[in-house]
Amino acid sequence: MINRSNCLQIMLGSVIIFFLVGCSTKDKTKNLTDSIRVALRKKGCDANSVSIEYVDENCSVNARVVDGGIQICNKFFNYEFRDQVSFIWHEVFHLNNDKPSGKSSLLLEDPVYIGNVPVDIIDYINNVVNADLEDYSKQIAYNRMISLSEIRDSVYYENEIAAYQQEINTIKDVSSQYDAERKFMLWKHTASLDIAKKYLRK
């Protein structure tokens, strides 16, 4: 009901079409998240008491934990339903298992490159994520994906490693595209933790 009255107010303003699209996404999100909760329950994960809210933002992530609830961003809708179920499973895992981590991060003047990148990760970055780029842009995009421009608290990486590991072990039915993505994320967080530990020792 709150959404509807917000929609009405905004429709009286000048940017009618843009906000109408926004409203329908909120309505669609409610139906979608209800279906995701049902799918999760079948997998033994109870997300009924968790708030799942759509934010009209192009975040770098599909979904995230904010203030004890889950927010889903625009990128979330680019994936298959079974992947979306896996995303929410991952965020519920964070809510239930994360250790408190420091919020601050160390911004680096020059990026730190992760060494010894496995062949399957190189292949994933060049032939899946950046497949359509020209060679020059491909190299820049590759370098960005295998480097860190900031160092976060090591507990942040530990929480992500635990969430991805458990997600991969538990939710097997995902698209091959997302399966490769989450394995990349697990590799990157693991390598980042090693780098963070070295920096924290300095």
Interatomic CA distance for residues 183 and 100, integer angstroms = 24
State the residue for tokens 């950046």: 130
Residues 23 and 7: beta-carbon distance below 8 Å? yes
How many binding residues for Zn ion (CB under 5 A)?
A: 2
Smallest gap, in angstroms, from Cβ of residue 164 to Zn ion? 7
Question: Can you tell me which residue has the tokens 């009618």?
Answer: 16
Q: Does 88 bind Zn ion (CB under 5 A)?
A: no
**Cα three-residue angle 164-168-172, rounded to 5 degrees:** 150
Angle in degrees, CA 69, 72, 76, rounded to 5: 150
Q: Which CB sits closer to Zn ion, 54 or 89?
A: 89
- Taking the least distance from each CB to Zn ion, the nearer of 160 and 181 is 160
Site string for Zn ion, 162-201 (x = CB under 5 A): -x--------------------------------------
From 42-50, 98-106, 160-168, 169-177, give the range in contact with Zn ion by CB under 5 A.
160-168
Residues that bind Zn ion (CB under 5 A): 160, 163
